[in-house]
Amino acid sequence: MKKWLADRLICPECLPKEIPLDLEIKEAELDDVLEGELTCPACKRRYQVHKGVVVVLPEKSMPVLQENLGYNSPGMLSSYLWSHYSDLFKDPQATDAYRVWASHFRNINGYALDIGCAVGRLSFELSKSNTHVIGIDTSISFIRKARELLKAKELTFDLIIEGLITEERSSTFDGQWNFDRIDFIVADALALPFPKSMFSTVTSVNILEKLSSPIDHLIDINRVLREENSMFMFSDPFSWDESVSHPESWLGGKTHGTYRGRGIDTIACLFSGRDAIFDPPLEITARSNVSWKIRKTENLWEHINSQFIIGNRK
Ligand SMILES: C[S@@+](CC[C@H](N)C(=O)[O-])C[C@H]1O[C@@H](n2cnc3c(N)ncnc32)[C@H](O)[C@@H]1O
Protein backbone atom coordinates (compact mmCIF):
# COMPACT_ATOMS: atom_id res chain seq x y z
CA MET A 1 0.00 0.00 0.00
CA LYS A 2 1.40 3.33 -1.04
CA LYS A 3 1.89 5.86 1.74
CA TRP A 4 0.05 8.57 -0.22
CA LEU A 5 -3.02 6.33 -0.21
CA ALA A 6 -2.88 5.55 3.51
CA ASP A 7 -3.27 9.29 4.21
CA ARG A 8 -6.65 9.31 2.44
CA LEU A 9 -8.35 6.15 3.75
CA ILE A 10 -11.34 6.29 6.10
CA CYS A 11 -13.03 3.55 8.13
CA PRO A 12 -15.65 1.66 6.04
CA GLU A 13 -17.23 0.32 9.25
CA CYS A 14 -18.01 3.80 10.56
CA LEU A 15 -19.66 5.12 7.36
CA PRO A 16 -21.52 7.48 6.93
CA LYS A 17 -19.21 9.04 9.54
CA GLU A 18 -15.88 9.68 7.82
CA ILE A 19 -13.13 8.71 10.27
CA PRO A 20 -9.51 8.82 8.97
CA LEU A 21 -7.43 5.73 9.80
CA ASP A 22 -4.13 5.74 11.73
CA LEU A 23 -1.21 3.93 10.11
CA GLU A 24 1.43 1.84 11.88
CA ILE A 25 4.25 0.78 9.54
CA LYS A 26 6.12 -2.44 10.37
CA GLU A 27 8.00 -2.80 7.08
CA ALA A 28 8.23 -0.52 4.06
CA GLU A 29 10.08 -0.32 0.78
CA LEU A 30 10.44 3.33 -0.26
CA ASP A 31 6.85 4.70 -0.44
CA ASP A 32 5.26 1.24 -0.28
CA VAL A 33 4.07 -0.19 3.06
CA LEU A 34 4.62 -3.96 2.97
CA GLU A 35 3.57 -4.91 6.50
CA GLY A 36 1.53 -2.81 8.88
CA GLU A 37 -1.85 -1.95 10.27
CA LEU A 38 -4.45 0.77 9.89
CA THR A 39 -6.61 1.43 12.94
CA CYS A 40 -9.85 3.36 13.29
CA PRO A 41 -9.56 5.71 16.28
CA ALA A 42 -13.38 5.62 16.70
CA CYS A 43 -14.46 1.95 16.42
CA LYS A 44 -10.92 0.54 16.99
CA ARG A 45 -11.25 -1.82 14.04
CA ARG A 46 -7.92 -2.85 12.51
CA TYR A 47 -7.13 -3.30 8.82
CA GLN A 48 -4.05 -5.36 8.02
CA VAL A 49 -1.43 -4.68 5.38
CA HIS A 50 0.26 -7.96 4.44
CA LYS A 51 2.79 -8.39 1.62
CA GLY A 52 1.81 -4.92 0.45
CA VAL A 53 -1.92 -5.68 0.14
CA VAL A 54 -4.29 -3.81 2.43
CA VAL A 55 -7.79 -5.10 3.10
CA VAL A 56 -10.17 -2.26 3.98
CA LEU A 57 -13.43 -4.17 4.09
CA PRO A 58 -16.29 -3.76 6.56
CA GLU A 59 -16.74 -6.80 8.81
CA LYS A 60 -19.77 -8.08 6.88
CA SER A 61 -17.78 -8.29 3.62
CA MET A 62 -14.82 -10.20 5.11
CA PRO A 63 -16.08 -13.71 4.11
CA VAL A 64 -15.42 -12.85 0.44
CA LEU A 65 -11.68 -13.20 1.16
CA GLN A 66 -12.09 -16.92 1.91
CA GLU A 67 -13.97 -17.76 -1.30
CA ASN A 68 -11.81 -19.96 -3.51
CA LEU A 69 -14.30 -20.07 -6.34
CA GLY A 70 -15.67 -17.14 -8.34
CA TYR A 71 -13.36 -14.17 -8.70
CA ASN A 72 -10.64 -15.72 -6.50
CA SER A 73 -10.27 -18.86 -8.63
CA PRO A 74 -7.24 -19.55 -10.89
CA GLY A 75 -9.62 -19.87 -13.85
CA MET A 76 -10.97 -16.33 -13.34
CA LEU A 77 -7.43 -14.98 -13.04
CA SER A 78 -6.52 -16.49 -16.41
CA SER A 79 -9.78 -15.19 -17.94
CA TYR A 80 -9.38 -11.61 -16.70
CA LEU A 81 -5.66 -11.37 -17.47
CA TRP A 82 -6.49 -12.41 -21.02
CA SER A 83 -9.38 -9.96 -21.19
CA HIS A 84 -7.36 -7.00 -19.85
CA TYR A 85 -4.06 -7.59 -21.66
CA SER A 86 -4.61 -9.78 -24.75
CA ASP A 87 -4.11 -6.75 -27.04
CA LEU A 88 -0.64 -6.23 -25.51
CA PHE A 89 0.54 -9.78 -26.14
CA LYS A 90 -1.07 -9.56 -29.58
CA ASP A 91 -3.53 -12.42 -29.35
CA PRO A 92 -5.30 -12.52 -32.74
CA GLN A 93 -8.68 -12.60 -30.97
CA ALA A 94 -7.85 -9.81 -28.49
CA THR A 95 -10.55 -7.47 -27.23
CA ASP A 96 -9.94 -3.72 -27.60
CA ALA A 97 -12.70 -2.92 -25.08
CA TYR A 98 -10.36 -1.35 -22.51
CA ARG A 99 -8.79 0.93 -25.13
CA VAL A 100 -12.30 2.04 -26.13
CA TRP A 101 -13.31 2.83 -22.55
CA ALA A 102 -9.96 4.54 -21.92
CA SER A 103 -10.34 6.75 -25.00
CA HIS A 104 -13.05 8.64 -23.09
CA PHE A 105 -10.92 9.61 -20.09
CA ARG A 106 -10.42 13.34 -19.67
CA ASN A 107 -7.29 15.03 -18.43
CA ILE A 108 -8.50 16.22 -15.02
CA ASN A 109 -5.95 16.84 -12.31
CA GLY A 110 -6.84 14.76 -9.31
CA TYR A 111 -7.56 11.34 -7.88
CA ALA A 112 -9.23 8.62 -9.94
CA LEU A 113 -11.11 5.59 -8.57
CA ASP A 114 -11.56 2.38 -10.59
CA ILE A 115 -14.29 0.36 -8.83
CA GLY A 116 -14.16 -3.41 -9.44
CA CYS A 117 -10.75 -2.98 -11.11
CA ALA A 118 -10.05 -6.75 -11.37
CA VAL A 119 -6.45 -7.09 -12.68
CA GLY A 120 -6.05 -3.41 -13.29
CA ARG A 121 -6.08 -2.47 -16.99
CA LEU A 122 -8.34 0.58 -16.65
CA SER A 123 -6.36 1.80 -13.63
CA PHE A 124 -3.17 1.66 -15.70
CA GLU A 125 -4.93 3.62 -18.46
CA LEU A 126 -6.23 6.17 -15.92
CA SER A 127 -2.64 6.88 -14.81
CA LYS A 128 -2.08 8.73 -18.10
CA SER A 129 -4.60 11.43 -17.22
CA ASN A 130 -4.80 11.53 -13.39
CA THR A 131 -2.26 12.34 -10.69
CA HIS A 132 -3.29 9.40 -8.47
CA VAL A 133 -5.26 6.25 -9.32
CA ILE A 134 -6.79 3.75 -6.90
CA GLY A 135 -8.16 0.42 -8.13
CA ILE A 136 -10.40 -1.42 -5.70
CA ASP A 137 -11.85 -4.91 -5.81
CA THR A 138 -13.12 -7.53 -3.34
CA SER A 139 -11.08 -10.28 -5.05
CA ILE A 140 -7.79 -10.60 -3.15
CA SER A 141 -6.43 -12.78 -5.95
CA PHE A 142 -7.04 -10.00 -8.52
CA ILE A 143 -5.57 -7.31 -6.25
CA ARG A 144 -2.45 -9.38 -5.52
CA LYS A 145 -1.90 -9.88 -9.25
CA ALA A 146 -2.59 -6.22 -10.07
CA ARG A 147 0.02 -5.15 -7.50
CA GLU A 148 2.46 -7.71 -8.89
CA LEU A 149 2.01 -6.23 -12.38
CA LEU A 150 2.46 -2.73 -10.98
CA LYS A 151 5.81 -3.68 -9.41
CA ALA A 152 7.13 -5.81 -12.28
CA LYS A 153 5.90 -3.41 -15.03
CA GLU A 154 5.38 -6.49 -17.15
CA LEU A 155 2.96 -9.38 -17.43
CA THR A 156 3.62 -13.13 -17.21
CA PHE A 157 0.89 -15.66 -16.54
CA ASP A 158 -0.39 -19.14 -17.34
CA LEU A 159 -3.24 -18.98 -19.81
CA ILE A 160 -5.67 -21.88 -19.50
CA ILE A 161 -5.94 -23.88 -22.70
CA GLU A 162 -8.09 -26.73 -21.37
CA GLY A 163 -8.47 -28.05 -17.83
CA LEU A 164 -5.01 -28.08 -16.24
CA ILE A 165 -3.19 -27.52 -19.55
CA THR A 166 -1.77 -24.00 -19.68
CA GLU A 167 0.59 -21.94 -21.83
CA GLU A 168 2.66 -18.97 -20.70
CA ARG A 169 1.82 -15.53 -22.03
CA SER A 170 3.87 -12.43 -21.40
CA SER A 171 4.21 -8.79 -22.37
CA THR A 172 6.11 -5.73 -21.26
CA PHE A 173 3.95 -2.76 -20.35
CA ASP A 174 3.07 0.42 -22.17
CA GLY A 175 5.68 3.13 -21.50
CA GLN A 176 2.90 5.72 -21.21
CA TRP A 177 1.59 4.40 -17.91
CA ASN A 178 2.67 6.22 -14.72
CA PHE A 179 3.21 3.33 -12.31
CA ASP A 180 4.09 5.45 -9.28
CA ARG A 181 0.66 7.11 -9.45
CA ILE A 182 -1.27 3.83 -9.01
CA ASP A 183 -2.25 1.53 -6.17
CA PHE A 184 -4.63 -1.41 -5.78
CA ILE A 185 -6.48 -2.32 -2.57
CA VAL A 186 -9.15 -4.73 -1.38
CA ALA A 187 -12.25 -2.66 -0.69
CA ASP A 188 -16.01 -2.90 -1.17
CA ALA A 189 -17.95 -0.95 -3.81
CA LEU A 190 -20.78 -0.65 -1.28
CA ALA A 191 -18.59 0.84 1.49
CA LEU A 192 -16.01 3.02 -0.25
CA PRO A 193 -13.26 3.82 2.30
CA PHE A 194 -12.70 7.35 0.99
CA PRO A 195 -13.89 10.80 2.08
CA LYS A 196 -16.56 12.89 0.39
CA SER A 197 -15.61 14.57 -2.91
CA MET A 198 -12.15 12.96 -3.08
CA PHE A 199 -12.26 11.91 -6.74
CA SER A 200 -12.26 13.84 -9.99
CA THR A 201 -12.76 10.61 -12.00
CA VAL A 202 -14.69 7.49 -11.04
CA THR A 203 -15.25 4.37 -13.16
CA SER A 204 -17.77 1.60 -12.53
CA VAL A 205 -17.31 -0.88 -15.37
CA ASN A 206 -19.15 -4.21 -15.45
CA ILE A 207 -19.80 -4.34 -11.73
CA LEU A 208 -23.30 -2.91 -11.09
CA GLU A 209 -25.10 -6.20 -11.78
CA LYS A 210 -22.71 -8.01 -9.38
CA LEU A 211 -23.81 -5.95 -6.36
CA SER A 212 -26.55 -6.75 -3.84
CA SER A 213 -27.76 -3.14 -3.85
CA PRO A 214 -27.02 -1.36 -7.16
CA ILE A 215 -28.61 1.93 -6.10
CA ASP A 216 -26.40 2.13 -2.97
CA HIS A 217 -23.37 1.76 -5.23
CA LEU A 218 -24.43 4.86 -7.19
CA ILE A 219 -25.24 6.77 -3.99
CA ASP A 220 -21.74 6.05 -2.65
CA ILE A 221 -20.17 7.14 -5.96
CA ASN A 222 -22.04 10.43 -5.69
CA ARG A 223 -20.57 10.88 -2.19
CA VAL A 224 -16.94 10.45 -3.30
CA LEU A 225 -17.20 12.24 -6.69
CA ARG A 226 -16.18 15.92 -6.75
CA GLU A 227 -19.06 18.38 -7.15
CA GLU A 228 -17.33 20.21 -9.98
CA ASN A 229 -14.81 19.44 -12.70
CA SER A 230 -15.27 15.67 -12.49
CA MET A 231 -16.39 12.71 -14.60
CA PHE A 232 -18.06 9.36 -14.00
CA MET A 233 -17.73 6.50 -16.51
CA PHE A 234 -20.37 3.82 -16.12
CA SER A 235 -20.64 0.63 -18.18
CA ASP A 236 -22.58 -2.60 -17.69
CA PRO A 237 -24.21 -5.43 -19.66
CA PHE A 238 -27.24 -5.35 -17.30
CA SER A 239 -27.42 -9.13 -17.07
CA TRP A 240 -29.44 -9.01 -13.86
CA ASP A 241 -29.24 -12.14 -11.72
CA GLU A 242 -31.68 -13.06 -8.95
CA SER A 243 -28.96 -14.97 -7.11
CA VAL A 244 -27.06 -11.67 -6.72
CA SER A 245 -29.84 -9.17 -6.01
CA HIS A 246 -33.62 -9.25 -5.63
CA PRO A 247 -35.47 -7.91 -8.71
CA GLU A 248 -36.89 -5.15 -6.47
CA SER A 249 -33.31 -3.80 -6.27
CA TRP A 250 -32.63 -3.96 -10.01
CA LEU A 251 -32.36 -0.67 -11.86
CA GLY A 252 -33.97 -2.12 -14.99
CA GLY A 253 -34.82 -5.40 -16.65
CA LYS A 254 -38.42 -5.53 -15.43
CA THR A 255 -41.86 -4.42 -16.60
CA HIS A 256 -43.31 -3.28 -13.27
CA GLY A 257 -42.32 -1.26 -10.25
CA THR A 258 -39.70 1.37 -9.58
CA TYR A 259 -36.96 1.52 -12.24
CA ARG A 260 -38.88 -0.62 -14.75
CA GLY A 261 -37.66 -0.64 -18.36
CA ARG A 262 -34.09 -0.87 -19.58
CA GLY A 263 -31.17 -0.41 -17.22
CA ILE A 264 -29.24 2.01 -19.41
CA ASP A 265 -32.29 4.31 -19.59
CA THR A 266 -32.58 4.28 -15.79
CA ILE A 267 -28.90 5.18 -15.45
CA ALA A 268 -29.34 8.07 -17.92
CA CYS A 269 -32.32 9.40 -15.90
CA LEU A 270 -30.37 9.08 -12.64
CA PHE A 271 -27.41 10.96 -14.17
CA SER A 272 -29.84 13.73 -15.13
CA GLY A 273 -31.04 14.17 -11.58
CA ARG A 274 -33.86 11.68 -11.03
CA ASP A 275 -34.35 10.95 -7.30
CA ALA A 276 -31.36 13.21 -6.53
CA ILE A 277 -29.02 10.18 -6.59
CA PHE A 278 -26.48 12.34 -8.42
CA ASP A 279 -26.48 15.74 -6.80
CA PRO A 280 -25.41 17.86 -8.60
CA PRO A 281 -26.59 15.96 -11.70
CA LEU A 282 -24.18 14.74 -14.39
CA GLU A 283 -24.23 16.06 -17.92
CA ILE A 284 -24.26 13.10 -20.33
CA THR A 285 -21.45 13.52 -22.86
CA ALA A 286 -21.32 10.03 -24.41
CA ARG A 287 -23.54 6.97 -24.57
CA SER A 288 -22.74 3.87 -26.61
CA ASN A 289 -21.90 0.14 -26.53
CA VAL A 290 -18.57 -1.60 -26.05
CA SER A 291 -18.00 -5.09 -27.37
CA TRP A 292 -16.13 -6.95 -24.63
CA LYS A 293 -14.85 -10.54 -24.41
CA ILE A 294 -13.94 -12.93 -21.62
CA ARG A 295 -11.99 -16.04 -22.54
CA LYS A 296 -12.56 -18.98 -20.19
CA THR A 297 -10.65 -21.66 -22.15
CA GLU A 298 -9.54 -22.06 -25.75
CA ASN A 299 -13.05 -23.31 -26.56
CA LEU A 300 -15.23 -21.26 -24.23
CA TRP A 301 -15.84 -17.53 -24.65
CA GLU A 302 -18.27 -14.95 -23.40
CA HIS A 303 -19.09 -12.16 -25.87
CA ILE A 304 -20.58 -9.27 -23.96
CA ASN A 305 -22.21 -6.03 -25.00
CA SER A 306 -21.45 -3.52 -22.26
CA GLN A 307 -23.57 -0.37 -22.44
CA PHE A 308 -21.70 2.70 -21.36
CA ILE A 309 -22.53 6.24 -20.47
CA ILE A 310 -20.35 9.11 -19.37
CA GLY A 311 -21.42 11.89 -17.06
CA ASN A 312 -19.54 15.11 -16.40
CA ARG A 313 -19.74 17.92 -13.89
CA LYS A 314 -18.38 21.32 -15.00
C1 LIG B 1 -17.53 -8.57 -14.17
S2 LIG B 1 -16.06 -8.22 -13.33
C3 LIG B 1 -15.54 -6.72 -14.12
C4 LIG B 1 -14.11 -6.36 -13.83
C5 LIG B 1 -13.57 -5.13 -14.56
N6 LIG B 1 -14.25 -3.92 -14.14
C7 LIG B 1 -13.65 -5.32 -16.02
O8 LIG B 1 -14.57 -4.76 -16.65
O9 LIG B 1 -12.83 -6.04 -16.58
C10 LIG B 1 -16.69 -7.64 -11.75
C11 LIG B 1 -15.59 -7.25 -10.78
O12 LIG B 1 -16.19 -6.68 -9.64
C13 LIG B 1 -15.59 -7.23 -8.47
N14 LIG B 1 -16.56 -7.09 -7.38
C15 LIG B 1 -17.69 -7.81 -7.17
N16 LIG B 1 -18.35 -7.36 -6.07
C17 LIG B 1 -17.60 -6.32 -5.61
C18 LIG B 1 -17.74 -5.44 -4.51
N19 LIG B 1 -18.78 -5.52 -3.67
N20 LIG B 1 -16.81 -4.48 -4.33
C21 LIG B 1 -15.73 -4.37 -5.16
N22 LIG B 1 -15.54 -5.20 -6.20
C23 LIG B 1 -16.46 -6.15 -6.43
C24 LIG B 1 -15.23 -8.65 -8.86
O25 LIG B 1 -14.25 -9.21 -8.01
C26 LIG B 1 -14.76 -8.44 -10.29
O27 LIG B 1 -13.40 -8.11 -10.35
Query: What are the structural domains of the chain?
Result: 1-54 (2.20.25), 59-313 (3.40.50.150)
Q: Is 134 in the pocket of ligand 1 (CB under 6 A)?
A: no
pLDDT digits (tens, 9 = 90+) for 202-232: 999 999 999 999 999 999 999 999 999 999 9
Ligand 1: distance of its center to the CA of 26 in Å? 30
Amino acid residing at 304: I
Query: What is the CA(85)–ligand 1 centre distance, in A?
Result: 17
Each residue's pLDDT tens digit, 24-76: 999 999 999 999 999 999 999 999 999 999 999 999 999 999 988 899 999 99
Residue with CA nearest ligand 1 atom 11? 116
What pTM does this model have? Answer: 0.97
Q: Average pLDDT, stretch 88-113?
A: 95
Q: Using alpha carbons only, what angle is made at residue 190 by residues 14 and 192, rounded to the nearest 5 degrees?
A: 60
| Mean residue pLDDT across the chain | 97
Higher pLDDT: 244 or 68? It is 244
Which numbered atom of ligand 1 lies nearest the CA of 306?
8
Q: Is the pLDDT of residue 174 over 90?
A: no
